Amino acid sequence: MYISRRGFIKLTGMGLASLGLSGLGFNLRPVRAYAAGLKIEGSKEILSICGFCSCGCNIIMSVRDGRMVSSEGDPDYPVSEGTLCSKGAAFLSMHNNEHRLQRPKYRAPGSDKWEEKDWDFVLERIARRVKDNRDQDFLLKNGVGQQVNRVETIFQLGSSQMDNEECAVSHQMLRGLGVVYIDHQARV
**Using CB under 6 A as the criterion, which residues of the chain lie in contact with ligand SF4 when the complex forms?**
50, 52-53, 55-57, 80, 84-85, 87-88
Closest among 56, 119, 59 to 89, alpha carbons compared: 59
139 touches 150 (CB < 8 A): yes
Closer by beta carbon to ligand SF4, 49 or else 63: 49
Q: How far is the CB of 115 from ligand SF4 (least distance, A)?
A: 34
Residue whose CB is less far from ligand SF4, 162 or 177: 162
Closer CB to ligand SF4, 52 or 151, in the complex: 52
Give the H or E element holding residue 114.
Answer: none
Least Å from the CB of residue 167 to ligand SF4 = 12
- Residue 89 Cβ vs ligand SF4, minimum distance, rounded to whole Å: 7
Tell me the closest approach of the beta carbon of residue 120 to ligand SF4, in angstroms: 32
Separation of alpha carbons 95 and 67, rounded Å: 9
Q: Beta partners for 47?
A: 60
Residues 6+ apart with CB under 8 A from 171: 182
Which residue's CB is nearer to ligand SF4, number 113 or number 187? 187
The CB-nearest residue to ligand SF4 is: 88
Q: What angle do CA 143, 132, 141 make, to 5 degrees?
A: 15
